[in-house]
Amino acid sequence: MLGLLGLRISEACHVDIDDLGIERGHRTLLVIGKGNKPALIPLPVPVARTLDAAAGERGTGPLLLTRSGAWMDRYAATRIVHRLAKRAGISHRVGCHALRHSYITAALDAGVPLREFQIADRHADPRTTTRYDRARGNLDRHANYIVAAFIAGAA
């Protein structure tokens, strides 16, 4: 949910099984974001399957549980992310918010327009989205290339 949906850790930890649904033919997740603002997020198929697996046979209650069966909080989630990063051989400390940064950078690299992504990521100011973009100095995706390709295709 953090790396593939770009959720904030607080949003992910507060997901209830009842927040999963279907809207206009799409699997969805309803999250309550900053400022208590609800957001309906469409789920890519692999993410929907993973969330279904996390829910298992349970029909209600928190989606993410600790080993003891308690509601997972941000601290438990952070410990899991640290443990998984270490297991993956990542030498520097990776936090939950780094996954959100990576999600935003990947979306921008994939060509999602900044304005569209700002709305999807629930940022009030586009400058916030731009700050998250770790590859913003990357010349490979400079606007000049996009404009030139557009004009060449239009001719």
Distance, CA of 89 to CA of 110 (rounded, Å) = 26
Is 8 noted as a catalytic residue in this protein? Answer: yes
Q: Which of 74, 97, 101, 134 is catalytic?
A: 97
Q: Is-catalytic flag, 86?
A: no
Q: Say whether 34 is catalytic.
A: yes
> H/E/C letters for each residue in 29-96?
EEEECHHHCEEEEECCHHHHHHHHHHHCCCCCCECCECCCCCECCHHHHHHHHHHHHHHCCCCCCCCH
Query: Among the options 34, 58, 93, 136, which is catalytic?
Result: 34
Residue 142: active-site member? no
- In the DSSP assignment, the letter for residue 19 is G
State whether residue 133 is helix, strand or coil: coil
| Secondary structure percentages of the chain, helix, strand, coil, to 5 | 55, 15, 35
- Set 14, 27, 100, 122: catalytic member: 100
Residues 32, 131: contact at Cβ < 8 Å?
no
- Kindly name the residue from 14, 27, 122, 123 that is annotated as catalytic: 123
Told to judge if 123 belongs to the known catalytic residues of this protein, a careful annotator would answer yes
Select which of 8, 14, 27, 122 is catalytic: 8
Annotated active-site residue in 14, 27, 103, 132: 132
Residue 14 designated active-site: no
Active site residues per annotation: 8, 34, 97, 100, 123, 132
